[in-house]
Amino acid sequence: MTRIAIYPGSFDPITNGHLDVIERATRLFDQIIVAIAENESKEPLFTLKEREQMAAAAIHRWKNVSVDHFPGLLVDYAAKRKACAIVRGLRAVSDFEFEFQMALMNRNLNPDIETIFLMPKDEYSYLSSRIIKEIVRLGGNIDGFVPPSVGELLVQKLRSK
């Protein structure tokens, strides 16, 4: 049986923290689908298409990782893709409460799909897409936190304003 995992999120944009989680997941599953949520209440900086393109370029190095997007409920999408698991990253205790609630609600909606949590390298444990955007807006250096091409797009988008 092919073991498929979904790694859902907004990926606005994808960071080296996300990539660290993906790499860990590639050692556990046969196939990983990075799935970008379409119904976004967070008013993303990048369009869905831009986020998808950045993620696709960043995951190119792994043969068993692909990028997709989904509308509606995550568990419905996971079932459609025949996934056995949802992967989420856990950075700190602050992530825990929200993730715990989501995992238990998703289990309630579909008991066949397991949520698993992976911890990134400690140097990425304080990294988020939100903080990266803030640093770029304020003129700081984000080398080492996002793939170089993502860094360039961030600068273009945020500093041209």
Q: Which residues are catalytic?
A: 18, 42, 91, 129
CB-wise, 31 or 120, nearer to ligand ADP? 120
Residue 89 in the binding site for ligand ADP (CB under 6 A): yes
Instruction: Please answer whether residues 36 and 6 qualify as being in contact, where contact means their C-beta atoms are separated by less than 8 angstroms.
Output: no
Residue 10 in the binding site for ligand ADP (CB under 6 A): yes
Instruction: Please answer whether residues 82 and 112 qualify as being in contact, where contact means their C-beta atoms are separated by less than 8 angstroms.
Output: no
Residue 44 in the binding site for ligand ADP (CB under 6 A): no
What residues pair up with 36 in beta bridges, in sequence order? 9, 69
From the list 4-12, 25-33, 65-73, 75-83, the region that binds ligand ADP by CB under 6 A is: 4-12
Residue 127 in the binding site for ligand ADP (CB under 6 A): yes
> Over 21-71, what HEC string results?
HHHHHHCCCCEEEEEEECCCCCCCCCCHHHHHHHHHHHCCCCCCEEEEEEC
Residue 128 in the binding site for ligand ADP (CB under 6 A): yes
Q: How big is the site for ligand ADP, counted in residues (CB under 6 A)?
A: 16
Three-class SS state of 114: strand
Instruction: Please answer whether residues 18 and 96 qualify as being in contact, where contact means their C-beta atoms are separated by less than 8 angstroms.
Output: no
From the list 25-33, 107-115, 122-130, 133-141, the region that binds ligand ADP by CB under 6 A is: 122-130
Rounded distance, CA 101 to CA 142, Å? 32
Q: Which of 5, 6, 11, 22 binds ligand ADP (CB under 6 A)?
A: 11
From the list 56-64, 75-83, 108-116, 123-131, the region that binds ligand ADP by CB under 6 A is: 123-131
Q: Which of 18, 33, 70, 142 binds ligand ADP (CB under 6 A)?
A: 18
- Conformation bin of residue 158: beta by default, left when phi > 0, alpha when psi is -120 to 50: alpha
User: Which residues of the shown chain bind ligand ADP in the complex (CB under 6 A)?
Assistant: 9-11, 15, 17-18, 21, 88-89, 91, 95, 120, 124, 127-129
